[in-house]
Amino acid sequence: MSETPAGGMRRFLDPRPDDRADRADRPEPPLLRRFLQPRPKAAPGEICEFCTEQIREEHAHVVNIESRALMCSCRGCFLLFTHDGAAGGKYRAVPERSIFDPDFILTDSQWDSLQIPVGMAFLFHNSAMGRAAAFYPSPAGATESLLPLEVWDEVRSANPMLAAMTPDVEALLVRRSRSDNECYIVPIDRCYELVGLIRQWWKGFDGGEEAHRAIDGFFARLREESDRPRPAVRA
C-alpha cells in the first residue's frame, strides 16, 4: 500500500522519501514552522462562551436563568438574548444601565429584618425560584440571606422604580452606613464584581485598609457612572 501524502503546509516541510537521508540534519524552515504550531488556547474569559469569538477584557454578560451562571459574551451573541423569551427563556442578557436614587426609602427595621452581617447587600428576583433573593458579599463569596416576602413587598411599594428592574439580571444594590444609604439598580455582574473585590482584598476580621479603599473606589465609580431616576418614576 502506498504511503498517504501529507496535506496542508506539512508537505512543504516533510522531505521526499529519497531525500530524507540528505536532509535529516537540516532544521525546519522557521517561517513555515510557525504555521504548523498548534494555536494557543485563549485564557479564561477571553472568548465568547457561545460562539468562541475573541472578546475584550471588558465585555458583555448573559445569565443562564436555570443555573445562575454568568457567561461571557461577544456583542453579537449578547444582542440575541436582549429580547424576552430568547432561547426559550433559558438565557437573558445583562443590561448595562445603572441608576442611583438618593431618595430611596429603606427603613432600619426593613434592613434589620434581612439579617445582613455587613453593610452591603444585593437583591433581585430569581425567576427559577419564583421569588426575590438577597445576597451579601463576603470573603467566601456571595452569601444568601433569607428575604422575608413581606419586607420585599414593602420596599417595592415605597420605591416604584423597582418595578422596572429586570428579573435575574438587574439587582438592587445597597450600601448602608450609620449616616447614609446608597441604593442603586445595577446590572447583576456589577454585584459580582464587588464580590470579587472583597474576596481579593479582604484580610482579617475588619477587612483591612486596602479592602475598604477598594470598596470606596467601587462605589465612587458606580455613583459617577449612574443615572438618576426620572421624575415620573416616583409617585
* Cell of residue 23, nine digits: 536532509
The three-class DSSP label of residue 134 is strand
pLDDT, position 234: 45
pLDDT, position 37: 54
62 and 163 share a domain?
A: no
Task: Say if residue 11's pLDDT is above 70.
Answer: no
**What percentage of the chain exceeds 70 in pLDDT?**
79
Q: What is the pLDDT of residues 181-218, one digit of tens each?
A: 899 999 999 999 999 999 999 998 889 999 999 999 99
For CA atoms 79, 80, 84, 89, give the dihedral sign.
negative
Show the CA angle centred on residue 113, arms to residues 129 and 233, nearest 5°: 70
pLDDT, position 1: 45
136 and 175 share a domain?
A: yes
Q: Is residue 173 part of a domain?
A: yes
**Burial annotation 88-127 (CB, 10 A radius, 16+ → b, else e):** eeebbbbbeebbbbeebebeeebbebbebeeebbbbbbee
Q: Predicted confidence band at 43 (pLDDT cuts at 50, 70, 90)?
A: low
Q: What is the pLDDT of residues 101-151, one digit of tens each?
A: 999 999 999 999 888 988 999 999 999 889 999 999 999 999 998 888 899
* Spatial distance between the Cα atoms of 197 and 194, rounded to a whole number of angstroms: 5
121 and 85 share a domain?
A: no
Lowest-confidence segment of 58-62, 82-86, 94-98 by average pLDDT:
82-86
89 and 106 share a domain?
A: no
Task: Say if residue 170's pLDDT is above 50.
Answer: yes
Residue bearing cell 431616576:
229
Per the CB < 8 A criterion, the answer to whether 218 and 198 are in contact is no
Secondary structure letter of residue 79 according to DSSP: H
Domain residue limits at 52: 41-94
Question: What is the tally of structural domains in the chain?
Answer: 2
Per the CB < 8 A criterion, the answer to whether 197 and 203 are in contact is no
The more confidently predicted of residues 123 and 4 is 123
